[in-house]
Amino acid sequence: MRSLSPLFVAFVLAAATPGAARAADPLPPSTFDYARIAAAPPVLRQRRMQGVLVRDIEIPKAAGGVAKAYVVTPDGNGPFGGVLMVHWLGEEDSNREEFLDDALALARRGIVSVLPDAMWSARDWYSRGRTHATDYANSIEQVKELRRALDVLLLQKGVDSNAIAYVGHDFGAMYGAVLSGVDRRARYYAFMAGTTSFNDWYLYGKPPPNVDAYRAQMGPLDPVLYLREASIADALFQFARHDFYVPPKKFADFYVADKGPKTLRIYDEAGHDLMIPAAIEERRDWLVRHVARKSVSREYAWSR
């Protein structure tokens, strides 16, 4: 990653509009009330990958069905940090596979990870699995399912409830931002390539019959509204400088919405996928600094 010039950083932050009037208010927290998971789901399969235990589970959904997930755990009894990692909607690894390499590396540093499939993991979900008529209700349900995934993470043996982080990319970052405003259990957040409003992405392609009504309905779910309500102990924001989907104005507004301690990283060489070594290593190191609880060797080297 090339060092960012102070002038460019100043430009990015000047592009933000933290004092602008809100187009909407966030939904009441009770909107996201959910049925807790009281017992860890059964393990369907387990194996060792790169010396780390990987378990396949299915997290039951409150509305029916299940979300496939990986639970990746260090050896030993803990205490361990915990991370919920939520994937992007992308060209590849648009499911729980996206962060598996990260989870394997983090387990060797004393961190348990839960990696669920989100609703957008289904094949052709954007074009065939969703409609404008269902986006609002499904978005609320997805946040509830993230809360249930946090339940599963906290039910893992040895996890320290005071050392919980969330990592989200693309849609995973945006729904994570909503989560941050309604659930305080994750104290640390790494947001990757998120934008300010679901309208920015759900309105690609064929529009709904009434665009204004759709915007008005989805507006109270804007991620930035919940970031402003959040109480995050520390956050990492990762963006690509030349991201077609999240231009500087958008990522600046997303970044400034969080009022707590935070770090901004903008990568010249990356695209929206942020799949470059600098971004991967910085994110992993940041997580280890904030949530790792197991004593590990400083000689450990990250690998993908």
DSSP track, 4-47: PPHHHHHHHHHH--TTSPPSSPPPPGGGG------SPPPPSEEE
CA 158 to chain centre: 23
Q: Which of 149, 165, 119 is nearest to 291 (CA)?
A: 165
Backbone CA torsion sign across 143, 40, 120, 188? positive
In whole angstroms, how far apart are CA 73 and each of 13, 84, 105, 108, 302?
Answer: 38, 12, 10, 9, 17
Taking a C-beta distance cutoff of 8 angstroms, is the pair 102, 84 a contact?
A: no
> What pLDDT, on the 0 to 100 scale, is given for residue 18?
53
Residue 236, domain member (yes or no) = yes
Reported as a single tens digit per residue, the pLDDT across 212-241 is: 999 999 999 999 999 999 999 999 999 999
Mean pLDDT confidence for 123-135: 94
> What pLDDT, on the 0 to 100 scale, is given for residue 2?
42
As for how many domains the chain has, the answer is 1
What whole-number distance in Å separates Cα of residue 111 and Cα of residue 235?
Answer: 18
Residue 56, domain member (yes or no) = yes
Q: Mean pLDDT over all residues of the chain? A: 91
Mean pLDDT confidence for 182-207: 96
Q: Which of 14-28, 63-77, 222-236, 268-282 has the lowest mean pLDDT?
A: 14-28
Residue 300, domain member (yes or no) = no
Taking a C-beta distance cutoff of 8 angstroms, is the pair 115, 52 a contact?
A: no
What whole-number distance in Å separates Cα of residue 170 and Cα of residue 6?
Answer: 26
Reported as a single tens digit per residue, the pLDDT across 237-271 is: 999 999 999 999 999 999 999 999 999 999 999 99
What whole-number distance in Å separates Cα of residue 214 and Cα of residue 68?
Answer: 30
Label residue 24 by pLDDT band (50, 70, 90).
Answer: confident
> What pLDDT, on the 0 to 100 scale, is given for residue 91?
85
Mean pLDDT confidence for 67-84: 96
Q: Which of 83, 302, 274 is nearest to 189 (CA)?
A: 83
Residue 127, domain member (yes or no) = yes
Residue 141, domain member (yes or no) = yes
What whole-number distance in Å separates Cα of residue 62 and Cα of residue 228?
Answer: 28
Specify the CATH number for the domain of residue 63.
3.40.50.1820
Q: Which domain holds residue 194?
A: 27-291
Residue 243, domain member (yes or no) = yes
Mean pLDDT confidence for 135-156: 98
Res 303 pLDDT > 60: no
Label residue 294 by pLDDT band (50, 70, 90).
Answer: low
**What DSSP character marks residue 121?**
G
Give residues with Cβ within 8 angstroms of 106, minimum separation 6. Answer: 72, 83, 113, 284, 287, 288, 292
**Half-sphere exposure (Cβ direction) of 199: Cα atoms closer than 13 Å:** 18
Residue 140, domain member (yes or no) = yes
Residue 214, domain member (yes or no) = yes
Q: Give the helix, strand, coil percentages of the chain, each rounded to 5.
A: 35, 20, 45
Indicate the pTM of the whole model.
Answer: 0.92
